[in-house]
Structure formats: structure tokens, C-alpha cells
Amino acid sequence: MQNAPVSIPKVLILCTGNSCRSQMAEELLRSAAAGRMEVFSAGSKSAGYVHPKAIEVMKENGHDISSFESEHLEKYLNAGIDTVITVCDNAQESCPVFPGSVKTYHWAFEDPAHATGTDDEVLAEFRRIRDQISLVFGAFAAGFIQGTEK
């Protein structure tokens, strides 16, 4: 008798513009989860582009998000999402109800797109947020993997 195939959970990371934080989180979670979950990102008011500085700081750590697209969350309303993670307060407030039994998490990060100062200072803010996101989503992936290996 064969075991039923195990479905891979689908995780959607939401932000307002889907141009910085959610894009970085999508790539970092996808990498940390190592194929154990499908990861997507979207915005409640999609900006239509991925911020160049987000692309730059991710590339510094070996992650290429230059081909990512900024998408609207409506694309995922009927996509069988299992988990929704909001990474900004605005997205949490405007998050729609997804059909089915969806787990939700909210981890707010400051928006590096609002950073001011010299180019180096702005890049430092993007790096700081990238590193915070990496810690949180790395821990989330590790907990998920540990829970599935029992």
C-alpha cells in the first residue's frame, strides 16, 4: 500500500507595495525552507516593481530577486494558500479573509524604502531590514522543518 503524497504548504507573504520587505522575505524563506514549502509574495497595493536597493542588498548575500515581480494579493485569493504572513501593519489591516483554514502570522518590519540620507545610509537600512527578515524567516523555516521531521 502506497502512502498518499504529502502536499507542500503554500505560504503567502503580504506587504503593502510588494516591492521590498515581502520580496526579500519570499526569497529568504524559500531558500531556508529548501523546497519544503511553496513561497509567494504579494501586496495590497502592488507597487508594480521590485525596489532596486532590495535587489542590490539581496545580491550581496547570494540571492537574486531581479526577476521577481510585484503582484497584487488578489492573484492568490483562490490559490490554496495555507499560511499568510504579513510583514507590515498596513497589509495586516487590509488583509482579506482567505478561504479554508489559513494560518496567519504578523511580523512587522520597518520599510527601508522610506530611509533617508546618503546612498550608503539608505543601503545600510536595507541591509538592516534584510538581516532582520533573514533571522525571523530562517527561524520560521527551521521550526517548520523540525516539526515535519518528527
> Cell numbers at residue 119, please?
546612498
Q: pLDDT tens for residues 30-39?
A: 999 999 999 9
Instruction: Determine the pLDDT at residue 88.
Output: 87
Mean pLDDT in residue range 20-27: 97
Q: At residue 22, does pLDDT exceed 80? A: yes
Q: Share the mean pLDDT of the chain.
A: 90
Strand partners, 41: 13
Instruction: Determine the pLDDT at residue 100.
Output: 72
Please state, in angstroms and rounded to a whole number, the distance separating the CA atoms of residues 15 and 72.
Answer: 10
Please state, in angstroms and rounded to a whole number, the distance separating the CA atoms of residues 36 and 57.
Answer: 25
Q: Which residues are catalytic?
A: 15, 88, 95
pLDDT band of 70, cuts 50, 70, 90: very high
> What count of Cα atoms within 13 Å lies in the side-chain half-sphere of residue 48?
0
Instruction: Determine the pLDDT at residue 89.
Output: 79
Burial-class residue 27 by CB neighbours within 10 Å (0-12, 13-18, 19+). buried
Mean pLDDT in residue range 76-87: 92
Q: Which has the minimum average pLDDT: 67-76, 89-98, 122-131?
A: 89-98
